[in-house]
Amino acid sequence: MTLTLRQIEMFRAVMAAKSFIGAARLLRVAQPTVTNVIARIEDRLGVPLFLRQGGRIYPTAEAVNILAEIDRAFVQLEQAVMRVDKVARREAATLRLGAAPSIGRRLVPEVLNALVTRHPGLTVHLEILSVAQVLDYVLGGPGECAVSVFPIAHGAIRSTRLGQARLVCLVPHELAQRFDGAVAPGHLKDETLIVFEPHTVHGQAIARFLGSADVSLGRTHQARFAETAVGLAEAGLGIALVDEFSALSADQSRVAVKPVAFDPAFDIFLHVNHERPVSHFTQLFQRELTRQLAAIAAAAPCATVRSVPR
């Protein structure tokens, strides 16, 4: 009972032209070809499509109903073709990606804003991910990529290092006068610090920093996320050591952001599942992220990011 696209095309032409001759002209074929195709359609469907009277043809009720169904399908097809064309010309697309909280608060949105500015048809879907969520998100989740401050050791995941970020010190304003210039480990002796669990990326970075001068900690408060550490520092509970991207969201009317006398402590990675296809926009996102990291490093090379050559 299946009709070919050619048969459907000729049927629509006959309905539009209201004659076999007119349909033949529209399709630039011989009139007998149209007549024969319509006869085969009627045989296949088992119903007459046209009544012949006085040299003219009149569509039957079945023909009118069939045309309505075909036209609905053609409208959907035309809309699909238009959407495909927009995607091909990159006028309409969705980029789904994830980011660790510290990077996803300011850096990634700035990168996405640059992409959307150049490609107004692009829609973005950004999801903030915890450390435990990143692997599953990239491996089988809805996103194409994720950005974090740690690599992923998995056979299906490609982790590309794009840059490095420094450790910075958030000092409540009432304590800021104690610190002049870059903060060294010895400056924090006997100060109340906001720290992280030892196994976390931030916890390990802080341990390396303090361990470089064998500084023992006094009183400490513990936070799970860098954003929480920022909030605790803003509230005056202590001095927080966080990555510089988390510090971008700090209220500088409440805390002073001080550079730390320590080499870059955080690597920035872009993760993709190389067993799944990625869009052109993922590639553009990677380039723009790398560009912005380099720009930040050039603007303040002594206290911020060092870009990693690709």
Q: How far apart are CA 76 and CA 64, in angstroms?
A: 19
Q: How far apart are CA 96 and CA 92, in angstroms?
A: 13
Confidence tier at 176 by pLDDT (50, 70, 90): confident
Which segment of 19-33, 81-95, 239-253, 274-288 scores lowest on mean pLDDT? 81-95
Q: In this predicted structure, what is the pLDDT of residue 88?
A: 61
Do residues 166 and 267 lie in contact, with contact meaning Cβ atoms separated by under 8 Å? Answer: no
Q: In this predicted structure, what is the pLDDT of residue 141?
A: 83
The two structure tokens encoding residue 78: 């035309």
* Alpha carbon 23 to its chain's center: 49
| DSSP-assigned beta bridge partners for residue 210 | none
Q: How far apart are CA 167 and CA 187, in angstroms?
A: 15
Q: In this predicted structure, what is the pLDDT of residue 306?
A: 38
Q: What is the pTM of this model?
A: 0.65
Q: How far apart are CA 266 and CA 167, in angstroms?
A: 8
Q: Is the pLDDT of residue 207 over 70?
A: yes
Q: Is the pLDDT of residue 23 over 70?
A: yes
Confidence tier at 309 by pLDDT (50, 70, 90): very low
Mean pLDDT of 134-143: 89
What mean pLDDT, rounded, does the chain reach?
87
Which segment of 80-84, 118-122, 138-142 scores lowest on mean pLDDT? 80-84
Mean pLDDT of 135-148: 91
Q: In this predicted structure, what is the pLDDT of residue 307?
A: 38
Q: In this predicted structure, what is the pLDDT of residue 130?
A: 87
The residue with tokens 């341990």 is 207
The 10s digit of each residue's pLDDT in 285-294 is 999 999 998 8
Q: In this predicted structure, what is the pLDDT of residue 92?
A: 53
What percent of the chain has a predicted confidence (pLDDT) above 90? 51
Q: Is the pLDDT of residue 300 over 70?
A: no
Q: In this predicted structure, what is the pLDDT of residue 302?
A: 46
Residue with more model confidence, 55 or 18: 18
Q: In this predicted structure, what is the pLDDT of residue 33?
A: 94
Provide the residue type at 196 as one letter: F
